[in-house]
Structure 1
Amino acid sequence: MAISDAPPTTAGRDAAVEKSKLQQHFGRADVFFFLVCTLVGIDGLGTLATEGGQGFTWLVVCTLLFAVPSAMLLAELGAAHTDEGGPYVWVRMAFGHLAGAVNNFFYWVTNPVWMGGTLVGTALGGLIVFLHGGEEYSRPVTYAFALVFIWAGVLFAVLSFRVGKWVATVGAVARFLLLGLFSVLVLLYGVENGFHGPSVGDYAPTFAGFVALVPLVLFSLVGFELPSSAGEEMTDAARDVPAGIAKSVVATGLLYAVPVLGILLVLPSDQASGLAGFPEAVRQSLTVLGGEVTTAADGTVTATLTPFSTAVGWVLGALVALVAFTSGLTWIMGSDRTLAVSCYDGAGPRWLGRFSARFGTPTRVNLLSGVISTAVFVAVTEITDGDIAKFFGVALSLAISTTLISYLGIFPAAWRLRRKLPDHPLPYRAPALGLLTVVSTAWIAFCTVQLLFPGLGIDWFGDDYRADGWAASERWVYLLTELVPLALFVAVAVGFWAAGRRQVDRADRPGGR
């Protein structure tokens, strides 16, 4: 059931016009590298390690009980329904245009929020640790870096998948290099200095750790559907999507588990901050190439590097920034397509649903993403008065909440479409679909509540649950920083849907166009 077959008639005609501009450049290997670049980020590695050994335990549990079930759901959807803008199309086909419009707006807006917030902070964190002696950059330098970071991403997103897929491939290779080198350094560091990680008992999972960590873990393990946003730019989506997802599940699990374990073994948990935990662990492990580690009276560990190990650190710092940059780029490339598709499908303003005839990309949405990213960066920087750690916590929580909310529509779509379209071919058929749907959706629903009200049911906004840099007395300020944007996003999404309906209705009336 192609999107162009669905009413209203004007949307079908508009879809045909825009689809004629698409270019096929997306093969099986490209899908795998794109997924690795999409799924494997480093912005949450330090935060996972702050909970000690149970951070690693919950990562393993979520990989097995969330990533694997949800990946099977998305493999069925991606192989069976291969229209451009896959995640939007699935929800719209399953639950209607309004549900598709609102859900898809959350799916899209996450990424400019994430790009202008968390990812800028992650890249800055790596550069601060390796290139600036641990001292934060001045406000003007921070702004200049953020603008280049954001708008370079927009530029690459505007270019065709023929170019963009190679950027994603470079990003995937950067992940293998960065995390592979870190794993080797950690092993050498442990052999030379001994491993001083958590005790065996610290790996035991607790409910408090579950509440604090699982939303971040789930955020790190979603995205298997993103290549399907370019379903009609693939050479063989029905074959390549399930294969790419299967390989990426294994790669993602390993690329997350090994670095988190490395941080735990090298860096004391009270220093593994969400912003700089991973870069600090890399810096400490670099002393095996030259340098020393000293411990102050208060327990603070400081790594001093030689010129050679410092030079290697510069390379790794650049890789940290590149990984953060390409994480945002792949998500922007995919989610911008879903928003453009929804707009030419009558669930948003038609002017946003334009693809470039030259590049085959949704340039207007790409530019809008850049504007939103820039606005988010400016707003959060000013709200937190330039406090990078506090900035990081707010932006990460908002990005996680908007992301997870969108999967409340995407995951149930597989179950709904299998019943709504019983005769539709299923190149890949997920086993026990009902159970997979319940399990995947339940994880998301619980974590969404905990993101808005950290620690609710145990100790709302208590010491063990609130983000870095926030005081217990600021719980209502924190809540407003989450609820106000979410309410605004819902209002804008409904407004998009209403604008799209009006345009379609007007055009379908006699003499309307």
Structure 2
Amino acid sequence: MTTLNPPVTPDEQSRHSRRFGLPVATALVMGNIIGGGIFLLPASVAPYGTISLVAFGVLTAGAICLALVFGRLAERHPQTGGPYVYAREAFGDFAGFLTAWSYWITTWVSNAALAVAAVGYLDVLIPVEHSTATTIAAALAAQWLPALANLAGTRYVGAVQLVATVLKFVPLLLVAVGGLFFFDPANLGPFQAGSGSAAGAVSASAAILLFSYLGVESAAVSAGEVRDPRRNVGRATILGTLAAAVLYLLGTLSVFGLVAHDRLTESTAPFTDAVNTMFGGTWGGTAVACMALVSMVGALNGWTLLSAQTPFAAARDGLFPRFFTHKRRGVPTYGVLTTVVLASLLTVYNYTAGPAGVFETLVLVTTFTATVPYLLSTAAQLYFLASGRADRVHGPRLVRDAVLAALAFGFSLWLVAGSGYAAVYQGVLFLFAGVLVYALMAGRARRRPGA
């Protein structure tokens, strides 16, 4: 097949790009990983028992392996697009398109999920869930405000991300560390709750936990907007992932030890219950709701940028519609607008479909769709290492890079297996729908003169 447009080199980026230094890039990674998940996570995995902490450890190790692989790949390909760029360079246009398509689905569905979760915490501060119309309006506002910040330019995206990360890091650390002083082992409950094997419980827990770890690739996806990406993308990825992992592990462990297991499995606001246990009274609910909202707005801010960057990179190469390449102030304008509209429609559908809606299934699909870019990225790294090309293989690091890439690939494959038959089935349908888009774009490219 005819190769489409070549990637844009870092030197061809606009004057509005390269606004992100190492601190902001690290905040982008950490802010995107720590969205609303940490505030809901302990209750979500409590039904599996404390064995879910084992899954947490495995998932953290896998996320760090992925972070190291992304850092190495970004050194060779410091362009906007991340996994898409790596898969296309290694395996061609079709693999690149599947990566971009799958990642794009993951980002805007995740945005809808974050907005819905944000409404639940907003209701603690301002009652908004008494009518469907008010609830929908609040959820849409949670999506469109970060979108407007993105449209204002990358410098504003970075500023919002840095402030949001700082504001949520301090109180979360207070709960994660302070809660250990009130820790009661009697609250932990059984090691493995429910039936089934231990391996099955770990795998099922990891499938839930993955949604809270999405974002490890954030700096790589936005490499075109990072200063000195060969140096800073890898560092930001590692620092952001490690910081998020520490908060996740300590925070979940603290909540497990503060809230009785039977109560935790029924909790809709586990951090609120934990803070109330630590300090007494009910003021903790308001404080945690504020922290959750700040966290989710920061995550939506970063994910909105990522949801536009991947289609921008693919459209620049002729694999997505051309209008995705339009940039203003360093931000892919139409990419932001398209993804926020899709996420808004999904949000409205969630609230109007009622309890029988398929929104929860679509969120589970993100577990599968997110692993497709991870699998292809790690496979691309293995390809580069096996190819022996001097511009991609660093002799002294060859063995280490190969082991890390193999571990990251196996980890990603394990996540696919753990996401469940329904999620894989739905995810494959999403991927096959993208094949039609690719066929149309490739056909149009072939008709151009000189193709």
Range of TM-score over shorter length? 0.7 to 0.9
Q: Is the 8 A contact 1:8 1:504 kept in 2?
A: no
Which is further off, 344-353 or 434-443? Answer: 434-443
Residue 378 and residue 131 in structure 1: after superposition, are their counterparts in 2 closer, same or farther (change >3 A)?
Answer: closer
Give the Cα separation in 2 of the matches to 1:331 and 1:426: 32
- SS of corresponding position for 2:164: helix
Shift of the 420–332 alpha-carbon distance from structure 1 to 2, 3 Å rule, reads farther
Note if 1:487 corresponds to 2:429: yes
Distance in 2, Cα, partners of 1:56 & 1:136: 33
How many Å separate the matches in 2 of 1:168 and 1:365?
19
* 1:107-256 equivalences in 2 (<5 Å): 107-116=103-112, 118-129=113-124, 132=127, 136-183=129-176, 186-187=179-180, 189-190=182-183, 194=184, 196-198=186-188, 201=191, 206-256=198-248
The equivalent residue for 2:405 is: 437
Q: CA deviation at 1:13?
A: 9.1
Match of 1:259 among 238, 244, 251: 251
Residue by residue over 1:362-409, the C-alpha shift from the partner in whole angstroms, topping out at 9 and shown as x without a partner, is 1111111011101211223333x158xx87743431222221233221
1:75 positional shift:
1.2
Amino acid across the alignment from 2:49? G
Given that 2:104 and 2:310 are in contact with CA atoms closer than 8 Å, whether structure 1 keeps it comes out as: yes
When normalised by structure 1's length, the TM-score is 0.78
> Which residue is 2:347 aligned to?
377
Q: Does structure 2 retain, via aligned residues, the 8 Å contact 1:168–1:330?
A: yes
Kindly provide the amino acid, as one letter, of the partner of residue 92 in structure 1.
Answer: R
Task: Write the letter of the residue equivalent to 1:162.
Answer: R
Residue of structure 2 equivalent to 1:319: 291
Deviation of the 1:188 alpha carbon:
5.7
Assess, with a 3 A threshold, how the Cα gap between structure 1 residues 434 and 78 changes in structure 2: closer, same or farther.
Answer: same
On the 8 A contact 1:346/1:503 being kept in 2, the answer is: no
- Distance in 1, matches of 2:214 and 2:388, equals 26
Paired position in structure 1 for 2:323: 351
Task: Check the 8 A contact 1:59/1:217 in 2, yes or no.
Answer: yes
Map residues 56-71 of structure 1 onto 2, 5 A cutoff: 56-64=53-61, 66-71=62-67
Structure 2 residue matching 1:432: 3-state secondary structure? helix
Q: Which position in structure 2 is the counterpart of 1:53?
A: 50
Q: 1:20 to 1:435 in 2, by over 3 A?
A: same
Q: C-alpha separation between the residues in 2 aligned to 1:286 and 1:244?
A: 34
Where 2:419 maps in the other structure, the secondary structure is helix
Aligned to 2:35, which of 41, 51, 62?
Answer: 41
Higher mean C-alpha displacement, 45-54 vs 162-171: 45-54
Structure with greater proportional helix content: 2
Flag the 1:16–1:39 CA change in 2: closer, same or farther, 3 A.
Answer: closer
For 2:97, the equivalent position in structure 1 comes to 101
1:237 Cα shift? 0.9
Question: How many Å separate the matches in 2 of 1:160 and 1:140?
Answer: 31
Tell me how far 1:39 sits from its aligned partner: 1.7
The one of 69, 80, 84 aligned to 1:73: 69
User: For the residues of structure 2 that align with 1:143 and 1:218, how far apart are their CA atoms?
Assistant: 26
- Alignment partner of 1:501 is 2:432: no
- C-alpha contact 1:67 1:222 (8 A) present in aligned 2: no
Q: Highest CA radius of gyration, 1 or 2?
A: 1
Displacement after TM superposition at 1:429 (Å): 4.5
Cα 1:18–1:378, aligned 2, differ >3 Å: closer, same or farther? Answer: farther
Q: CA deviation at 1:417?
A: 2.4
Q: Percent identity?
A: 21
Given the superposition, is the C-alpha separation of residues 127 and 188 from structure 1 closer, same or farther in structure 2, using an over 3 Å criterion?
farther
Q: Is the 8 A contact 2:80 2:220 kept in 1?
A: yes
Gaps of 5+ in 2: none
Report the equivalent of 1:423: 390
Once the two structures are overlaid, the 10-residue window that deviates more, 428-437 or 392-401, is 428-437
- 2:379 match: 412
Contact 1:229-1:334 at 8 Å conserved across structures: yes
Contact 2:20 2:158 (8 Å CA) reproduced: yes
Q: Find the aligned partners of 2:341 and 2:245 in 1 and give their Cα distance.
A: 33
> 2:25, 2:303 → 1: CA distance?
13
Name the CA shift for 1:398/1:200 in 2 (closer, same or farther; >3 Å): closer
CA shift in 2, pair 1:430/1:196, >3 Å: farther
Rounded to whole Å, the distance in 1 between the matches of 2:436 and 2:168 is 39
Match in the other structure for 1:282:
272
Distance 1:281 1:318, change over 3 A: closer
User: Are residues 324 and 50 of structure 1, via their aligned partners in 2, closer, same or farther at CA, if it must alter by over 3 Å?
Assistant: farther
Q: How many residues align?
A: 445
Query: Which amino acid letter does the alignment assign opposite residue 166 of structure 2?
Result: V
Deviation at 1:25? Answer: 0.7
